[in-house]
Every structure is written in structure tokens, then in C-alpha cells.
């Protein structure tokens, strides 16, 4: 918020509770007033949810329902999760520097379908008297086609290579996914399409991450692979994301969660949140120069040696933000 305000763009900010804070204040993680404000806003900047105090609540009252509910209610089906190596941070990657250098990939993750929202789901007792949990993985062809189109459009603006990641060797859902992606590909002859099973993709992200340009994948696989990609470029504290609807309205948030293990210590890396604000300016508020100013300030701060603990340094959250502000 300090970085956005420093840009002096005449933005008007309103805030509302979501997640554990909202549950504790009023008994629901996504209060109607919060959803209403989100609907009225031109763009949404989201702080992470997740509160260990709430881990034993029924699923529909858990803090995570705030973000899942917003994504679903607002039709935010397209999740863009870029992972790009900062040259100064190559030493912070979990990978060897020569493998980490030059990573520049975009994960296009479907965000309102898959096993996350499948129905039926629940608990039951088997005939043998055992407790059983079940969730349903599903996609219809329209849901796959619309995210595939966005994947191709995204790849077209990048290096024109799209890798669709699935588990079509086992899952019926993935077999449909792959067929539909191939059908959509007919409209994008200029984009090179490849397919990869998700288990191999997890390995290739570590072995040859520079080989990826644009990835299109389902909700669950995209969730997992994006955390992995963050470690390839240095830290989960670096990766922003955009969740977009069909008209480009969006919600912007770091890919990370509430980091309960370090919460309240003032040491979380704020760059993922700051870079999410830059994505918001670019995609929803049509202020590309302001977005570039933020991204350039982050790059300069890192080049100057600004490091929070996750990057091997000692700056606090606030001090890291100060360093970005100083470079704006
Ligand atoms: N979109 C979201 O709001 C979102 C995303 C992921 C997880 N969650 C929730 O967050 C809670 C914690 O989940 P988790 O621990 O699996 O994931 P997490 O992303 O919160 O943390 C994973 C690890 O990364 C570290 N980390 C995360 N963000 C960091 C940052 N900015 N700077 C430095 N280190 C950082 C944490 O300290 C932790 O060690 C859970 O309740 C989960 O459901 C929410
Ligand atoms: C908190 C959780 C619901 C969420 C997800 O699984 O989508 C998170 O992990 C993310 O990556 O945004
Ligand atoms: Mg996640």
C-alpha cells in the first residue's frame, strides 16, 4: 500500500476483512460486505489468508474459503503466475546458478474448476465401517477451452511455446483436458504446443527450468508447480499473481500464504505483494508505466543488495519496502 500510494496515481482505496480475521470478527471468512466491496471495486489487492487457530473449523468456515469464494463468485478463472529469475538472486535459488539463471516462465493456472470445486465431495463411512473422504476432479470442455485460449494468447505474446501439463496417462479429466487443448491449438498455428505429465513436469522444473516458456494447467497442478517454481527463482516471497475474469477484472495476491511460522516477526518478504500491485496496475488499471516503475524499483533494490531473511539477508519487511520506495 505504501508503494502504491507513493506513485500518487489518484487511486481510491477501500478495505475489508477476509479469512481468519473476518471469521473472528463476525463468524464468516468471506462476509457479504467484503464480497460486495470486491464486486464494486475496479481491482482487488488481496493479503494472504490462513490462520492455524482456524485449522479445525469445518471446511466452509476455514479462512481459505475467503479466497476460494472470491475466485468463484467473481469468475476469476485465469491465474497468471510468472516466475522470472532476478540475475542478482541466482545464488538464492535452490538450484545450481547455471540452471537457475535465465528462468522466465509463466504459469497459466485454471482457477475456478478441478478438484477444488468438484461436487460431490465430503465424508462417508464405507461398508466396512471405515471413514472415507472424497473429492471430485472435473472439468467440462468449455472450462478447458477458455483457459487453453488464454494459455495460447499468453504464449503468443511471449516466446510462442505452450506446454500443457496434465496427468492424461491416468485421469479421465486430464484426457478430456488434453483433447480440448489440441482442438484449441488449431486456432494458434504460430504457437508451438507440447504436453507433459505433471510428475515429469515437476522434475523438468528442477532439471531444465529455462526450457519452459508458458505453461497451461489445471487448478491443483498449477498450485503445486507454482510453489515449486518460486523456489527455482529464489523464494516464494518473490512471486506475484493475477486472477482474472473474462473481462480482465482481477484479484492480485502473492502466491504464498500467511506464513504462520514467521507471522508477526516483521521478516516476511514484501516483494511478492509489491509485485502483485504492479500486476494490478498493468492488467486491471491500465497503468503500464506505473507497473514498470514498481518492477524497476524492485530490481534496483535487489541489485543494491536489499535482502530479507528468505533471501539470506537481515532486512525487515518494512525495511525492504523502504528500499523499494527509495528506488521508485
Ligand atoms: N492465497 C492465499 O491466501 C494462500 C496461499 C497459500 C497458503 N495459504 C494459507 O496459508 C497458511 C500457511 O500455509 P503454508 O505454510 O503451507 O504456506 P505459506 O506460503 O504461508 O508458507 C510456506 C513457507 O514459505 C514461507 N513464506 C511464505 N511467504 C513468505 C514471505 N513473504 N517471505 C518469506 N517467507 C515466506 C513461510 O514462512 C513458510 O516457511 C495456510 O492456512 C494456507 O492455507 C493461503
Ligand atoms: C489457500 C489456498 C486455497 C490457495 C490455493 O490452493 O489455490 C493457495 O495455495 C494459492 O496458491 O493461492
Ligand atoms: Mg498455493
Q: What is the pLDDT of residues 74-127, one digit of tens each?
A: 999 999 999 999 999 998 899 999 999 999 999 999 999 999 999 999 999 999
Number of domains into which the chain is organized:
1
Give me the percent of the chain exceeding a pLDDT of 90. 98
Q: What is the pLDDT of residues 120-159, one digit of tens each?
A: 999 999 999 999 999 999 999 999 999 999 999 999 999 9
314 falls within a domain = no
Chain centroid offset of residue 283 CA = 14
135 falls within a domain = yes
Catalytic residue among 23, 51, 114, 116: 116
Write down the pLDDT at residue 248: 86
Catalytic residue among 114, 166, 213, 223: 223
163 falls within a domain = yes
What's the 190 CA to ligand 3 centre distance in angstroms? 32
Q: What is the pLDDT of residues 264-274, one digit of tens each?
A: 999 999 999 99
Q: What is the pLDDT of residues 226-273, one digit of tens each?
A: 999 999 999 999 999 999 999 989 999 999 999 999 999 999 999 999
311 falls within a domain = no
283 falls within a domain = no
Grade residue 168 by pLDDT with cuts at 50, 70 and 90. Answer: very high
Closest residue CA from atom 6 of ligand 2: 223
Mutate to test the pocket of ligand 1, among 50, 237, 253, 313 (most ligand atoms within 8 A of CB): 50
Q: In whole angstroms, how large is the CA radius of gyration of the chain?
A: 20
Q: Which residues contact 40 (CB under 8 A, 6 or more apart)?
A: none
Measured from the Cα of 227, ligand 2's closest atom is 11
Q: Is 223 in the pocket of ligand 2 (CB under 6 A)?
A: yes
Q: What is the pLDDT of residues 179-231, one digit of tens each?
A: 999 999 999 999 999 999 999 999 999 999 999 999 999 999 999 999 999 99
Reported ipTM: 0.99
Q: Is 68 in the pocket of ligand 2 (CB under 6 A)?
A: yes
Mean pLDDT computed over every residue of the chain: 97
Q: Which domain holds residue 96?
A: 90-234
286 falls within a domain = no
Mutate to test the pocket of ligand 1, among 21, 49, 89, 256 (most ligand atoms within 8 A of CB): 256
Closest residue CA from atom 2 of ligand 2: 64
* pTM of the model as a whole: 0.98
End-to-end CA distance of the chain: 14
48 falls within a domain = no
Give the count of beta carbons closer than 10 Å to the beta carbon of residue 322: 15
CATH number for the domain harbouring residue 121: 3.40.718.10
274 falls within a domain = no
3-class DSSP string for 229-273: HHHHHCCHHHCEEEEECCCCCEEEEECCCCCCCCCCCCCCCCHHH
> Which of 75, 201, 82 minimizes the C-alpha distance to 142?
75
Write down the pLDDT at residue 207: 97
Amino acid at each position: 500500500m505504501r508503494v502504491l500510494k507513493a506513485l500518487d496515481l489518484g487511486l481510491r482505496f477501500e478495505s475489508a476483512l477476509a479469512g481468519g480475521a473476518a471469521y473472528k470478527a463476525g463468524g464468516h471468512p468471506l462476509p457479504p460486505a467484503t464480497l460486495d466491496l470486491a464486486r464494486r471495486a475496479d481491482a482487488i489487492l488481496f493479503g494472504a489468508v490462513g490462520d492455524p487457530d482456524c485449522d479445525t473449523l469445518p471446511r466452509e468456515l476455514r479462512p481459505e474459503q475467503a479466497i476460494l469464494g472470491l475466485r468463484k463468485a467473481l469468475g476469476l478463472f485465469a491465474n497468471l503466475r510468472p516466475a522470472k529469475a532476478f540475475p542478482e538472486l541466482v545464488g538464492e535459488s535452490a538450484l545450481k546458478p547455471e540452471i537457475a539463471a535465465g528462468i522466465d516462465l509463466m504459469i497459466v493456472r485454471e482457477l475456478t474448476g478441478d478438484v477444488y470445486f468438484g461436487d460431490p465431495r465430503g465424508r462417508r463411512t464405507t461398508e466396512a465401517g471405515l471413514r472415507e473422504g472424497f473429492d471430485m476432479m472435473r472439468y467440462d470442455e468449455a472450462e478447458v477451452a477458455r483457459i487453453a485460449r488464454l494459455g495460447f494468447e499468453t504464449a503468443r505474446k511471449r516466446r510462442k511455446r505452450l506446454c500443457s501439463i496434465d496427468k492424461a496417462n491416468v485421469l479421465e479429466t486430464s484426457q478430456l483436458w488434453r483433447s480440448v487443448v489440441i482442438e484449441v491449438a488449431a486456432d494458434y498455428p504460430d504457437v508451438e504446443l507440447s504436453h507433459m505429465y505433471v510428475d515429469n513436469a515437476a522434475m523438468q522444473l528442477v532439471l531444465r527450468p529455462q526450457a519452459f516458456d508458458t505453461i497451461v494447467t489445471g487448478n491443483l497442478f498449477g498450485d503445486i508447480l507454482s510453489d515449486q517454481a518460486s523456489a527455482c527463482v529464489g523464494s516464494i516471497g518473490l512471486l506475484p499473481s493475477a486472477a482474472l475474469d473474462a473481462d480482465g477484472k482481477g484479484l492480485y495476491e502473492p502466491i504464498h500464504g500467511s506464513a504462520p511460522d514467521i507471522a508477526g516477526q516483521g521478516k516476511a518478504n514484501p516483494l511478492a505483494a509489491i509485485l502483485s500491485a504492479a500486476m494490478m496496475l498493468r492488467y486491471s488499471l491500465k497503468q503500464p508505466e506505473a507497473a514498470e516503475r514498481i518492477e524497476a524499483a524492485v530490481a534496483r533494490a535487489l541489485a543494491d543488495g536489499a535482502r530479507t531473511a528468505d533471501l539470506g539477508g537481515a532486512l525487515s519487511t518494512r525495511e525492504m519496502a523502504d528500499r523499494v520506495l527509495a528506488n521508485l
